[in-house]
Amino acid sequence: MSGECDFSALIGDFVEDAGGHLDAVEGFLLELERRAPAGCDGELVTLIQGHLHTLKGNSGMMGLSPLQQYVHRLEEVMKETGAGTLTLGGALFGALYGGINALRSALFRFAQTPDAGFDFAVEEAALEALRAAPHSVTRASAEATSEGTPEPLPSRSAAPAEFGYITQKSSTLKVNFEKLDELLNLMGELVIQRTALATLEKRLREQVSDRELLNAFNETSQLIGKSTDDLRQSIMKVRMLPVKSVFQRFQRLVRDLSLAHGKEVRLKLEGEETELDKTVLDEIGEPLLHLIRNAVDHGLEPPAERRARGKEACGTLTLRARHESNHIVIQVCDDGRGMDPEEIRKKAVARGVLEQEAAQAMSEAELLQLVFVPGFSTRSEVTETSGRGIGLDVVKKIVSSLNGIIEIESRVGRGTTFTMMLPLTLAIISALMVEVAGETYAVPLSGVLESVQVQGEECHDTGNGEVIMLRDRVLPLYRLDRFFGRESGGEREQEYVVVVASGDKKGGLVVDRLVGQQEIVIKGLDDYLGELPGISGGTVLGDGRVSLIVDIPSILGR
C-alpha cells in the first residue's frame, strides 16, 4: 500500500508508537472492566476506538494489511460493545486483552524481523466466537467452570511468555524536547552560580588569612566547577543528534534535481555521524537546501561540458560536517565550473550593484562575496530551482541569525565550496566580555575573529565612518559607546578593537576594555521591548548583574 514511498525507515517509530496505543487501549480497557458493574462507559469505549482507529490507519500506511485488518476487527468489537450488542463480561475482556497481547508480541517480532509476516487467525477466531453468541457471553464466562465450556477461549489461557513485554527492558526513552530545554536552562543557572563562587573566592583570598580553609574552599569550588562542566556536557550530549538525519533528506532532492536539469550528480556525505544540538539541526535544513540547489543548478556542468573539460561526466557534490573547536563546520562542496571573479565583476557593474571603479578595486575574495547580495546571480537565466540568486542571500541571512559565519571558496573550472561555521548550540554560547562606558557587554565568540590593539592614529576617518587597515584590508570600525549612545569620552592613544564577522561582513568593534572569555546563557528579551538594534539578548553575570549580548549582524548591517 505504501506505493513507491519507502517507510521501512519508520519501522522503529511505528512499533514504538503502536506500543503506546496498545498501552493506552489496555489502560482504558482495565478502567472499563472496573466500571462494568455500573454499565458500559461510552466515553471509555470512544477513547479505545480512537486509539485503535489511529493504529489501524498507521498499520495500513506501513503496508501491514493483516495487522490493519485485525485492529479493524477489534475496532468493530468495540463499536458493538458501545452499541450494547456485546455484553461486558469476562469473555469479552479476555478476548480483548488476549488480542492486545497478541498484537504486542507480533509487533515485537516485526521489529526483529520485518519480513516475517503476521498471523492473527487464533485471535480472530476468538473475536468471532464472541460475536457468534453475543448475549450468552456474560453468562457463559461466569459459569464457564460449572457448564464446562468445551473450548476455552485462547486468550484466557495466556501463556506466561505472552507477558514478556512487561519485563522487557528498553534502552531508549522518549522525552519531550521542552523538558530538555528546561534542564539546560537550569544548567545555565548553575553555570552562573559557579562564576559567582569564583568571584567569592577571590574576595575571600583578600580578606581571610586562614590558608588551610582557603585551600579547602578552593578545592571544593574546583570540584563543583568540574562537576558543573561534566553535567553541562552530558546535558548537551542528550540534545545532540547526528547530522545524518538532515543530510539523508537530500539524497532524493539531488537525484530529482539532477534529472530535471539533465545532469549527473553523485552526492557524497562525510561526517554524517557528527552530532549537532537539535536547535541547530532544526535550522540548517533550509540553508543547505538553497546551497545544494545552487550547486546542482549553477555549479555543476552538464555531462557533455564536463567531458569536454576532461572531467568525469558525473559531478560530485559533497556534504561534509565536522566539529572544530567551538564550532560546527558544515560544507557544501561541488567539483563544478566554479565562479569566475571577472564574470562576477562584470555582472555586478551591469546590474548596477557596483560602480565601475569600486568593482575594479575589489579583490577576488571580495567579488565572490557579492553572490550573497540580494538579487545577484552569476547566471543570467532564471531557473525554477535556483531563481536569480534568491537563495544565497537567504542562506547568509539564516546563517547570520544563528550567529554563524559563511565563507565561500571557488576556483574556476575546479568547483566551489561553501563553508558554514555555526555555534554548537543556540542556548549557551562562549562570549568575549568587553567593557564599554562602564557596562559589560557580551560579544558572541562565534562571531569574533580576533582582538587587536591599535594606535589611535591608525584609525582613519573616511567621512563615511572610521576604518583601520588590518593586514592590508580595510576594516570598518564601529564604536560601541557611540552605537549605544553612551559616549565614554575622547579617543585614546590606544584602542581595543574586536574584529567580528557576520555572514560575509567583517568589522571592528571599538571597546574600552577586554574583560575575558566566558560561557553565557542566552536569555531572550521580552517582546514588549520591541526591536533593539545591536542587542540580541541578555545574560546574567556571576555577580547578578545583567549583561547585554551584542548582536553582531545588526551592527555590521548599518
What residues make contact with other proteins under the rule CB under 8 A?
1-7, 9-10, 13-14, 17, 50, 53-54, 56-61, 63, 68, 249, 252-253, 256, 289
**What span, in angstroms and rounded, lies between the C-alpha atoms of 105 and 70?**
14
Nearest CB to other proteins, comparing residues 45 and 540: 45
| Minimal distance, residue 486 CB to other proteins, in Å | 37
Q: Residue 244 Cβ, how far from other proteins at the closest point, in Å? A: 15
Torsion of CA 426, 427, 433, 439, to 10 degrees: 110
Separation in Å, CA 335 to CA 190, 306, 309, 410:
48, 10, 12, 10
Closer CB to other proteins, residue 108 or residue 217? 108
Q: How far is the CB of 172 from other proteins (least distance, A)?
A: 15
Question: CB within 8 A of 229, min separation 6: which ones?
Answer: none
Q: For residues 534 and 483, is the Cβ–Cβ distance under 8 A?
A: yes
Measured from the CB atom, the residue of 4 and 212 that comes closer to other proteins is: 4
- Minimum CB separation of residue 439 from other proteins in Å reads 35
Question: Quick one: 199 or 251, whose CB is closer to other proteins?
Answer: 251
Closer Cβ to other proteins, 338 or 387, answer by number:
387
HSE at residue 246, side-chain half, CA atoms within 13 A, is: 28
Q: In angstroms, rounded to a whole number, what is the distance separating the alpha carbons of residues 168 and 173?
A: 14
Helices (H), 463-506: 480-483
Nearest approach in angstroms of CB 49 to other proteins is 9
Decide whether 289 or 426 has the Cβ nearer to other proteins: 289
**3 state SS for 342-354:** HHHHHHHHHCCCC
Q: Between residues 2 and 185, which has the closer beta carbon with respect to other proteins?
A: 2
Q: Which three cell numbers stand for residue 526?
A: 521580552
- CA 485 → CA 18, 432, 463, 533, distances in Å? 60, 21, 20, 12
Cβ nearer to other proteins, comparing 59 with 87: 59
Smallest distance, other proteins to C-beta of residue 11, A: 11
C-alpha cell at 78: 468495540
Strand 505-511 relative to strand 494-502: parallel, antiparallel, unpaired? antiparallel
Q: How far is CA 388 from CA 341, 343, 379, in A?
A: 18, 15, 8
Please tell me the distance from the alpha carbon of residue 17 to that of residue 70, in angstroms, as a whole number.
17
The x, y and z cell numbers of residue 394, run together, are: 537567504
Nearer to other proteins, 384 or 543 (CB): 384
CA distances from 351 to 344, 375, 387 (A): 10, 9, 16
Contact by Cβ (8 Å): 64, 2: no
CB of 10 to other proteins, least distance (A): 6
Nearest Cα to Cα of residue 520 among 268, 188, 237: 188
Residues ≥6 apart with Cβ < 8 Å to 37: none
Residue closer to other proteins, measured from CB, 27 or 154? 27
How many helical (H) and strand (E) elements, i.e. helices and strands, does the chain have? 19, 18
Distance CA 94, CA 156 (A): 6
Nearer to other proteins, 12 or 456 (CB): 12
